[in-house]
Chains A and B, each alone.
Chain A
């Protein structure tokens, strides 16, 4: 029998992997993908709570999270393209203009 805890542990594992990915990687696009992975992990726990509490709120929140993720992906990728046009790289180690 699969309980709520199973889903929450899976969600925690995926979220942690996303955090590690953001900290480890150098490529801005891959870091962006890891952020999407974290959003997905949180969505899993939302839907699991909704199922086990007989509620619909979790699924509604996932719906809105997906919309925000789509908007975020569009703007974020546009920013990455703009940065690439100026610096010819997407490596975050070379984006240190604001560092003093």
Chain B
């Protein structure tokens, strides 16, 4: 059951990603990206990360992508007009280099470098305590400093967005 679900969702995600990079209309691009993100949220649930799956839907598919759509409609950028590549063979070269990159990553995956130590957070333990409780506990103990720095980061980002959005600086 899990295996079938993985293959179905992974296929949908990859197909949507391919459509994303070749679709001309930016609004459709954003909708395809939302589809990829929802598929990834399903994979997170398969991997036992319910909290991350919920955050993925709410923050990524909800907040960030709506921001993208909002800007697309604000700027009124229509379908990309077909134009010559600035560099000759740029498109073909880009796809070729992408395949080379994938081959390089695949060779690393095939080598046996990816072994790690098993931690204490087994699926049984997480299910007993609760996924969100475990994440919350870690956020306010072991990861307290990064968590606080994150608040500063968001604050700075909000100020930066407002300053850049002003008509006269």
Number of contact residues on B: which range applies? 35 or more
Bound CA–CA A19/B80 (angstroms): 19
Instruction: Say yes or no: is B88 at the interface (Cβ < 8 Å to chain A).
Output: no
Which DSSP category, helix, strand, loop or mixed, fits chain B's interface? helix
The count of A-to-B residue pairs whose CB atoms sit within 8 angstroms is 209
Q: List 20 A-B contacts (CB under 8 A).
A: A16-B98, A20-B98, A23-B90, A24-B22, A30-B80, A32-B68, A33-B68, A40-B60, A48-B47, A53-B119, A54-B121, A57-B119, A66-B56, A67-B153, A70-B154, A74-B161, A75-B157, A75-B164, A78-B160, A84-B75
Q: Indicate which residue in A23, A36, A69, A93 contacts B97 across the interface (CB closer than 8 Å).
A: A23
Instruction: Write the A32-54 contact mask toward B (1 if CB under 8 angstroms, else 0).
Output: 11101100100110011111011
Give Cα distance in the complex from A55 to B121, angstroms.
Answer: 5
Which DSSP category, helix, strand, loop or mixed, fits chain A's interface?
helix
Chain B residues with CB below 8 A from A74, complex form: 67, 157-158, 160-161
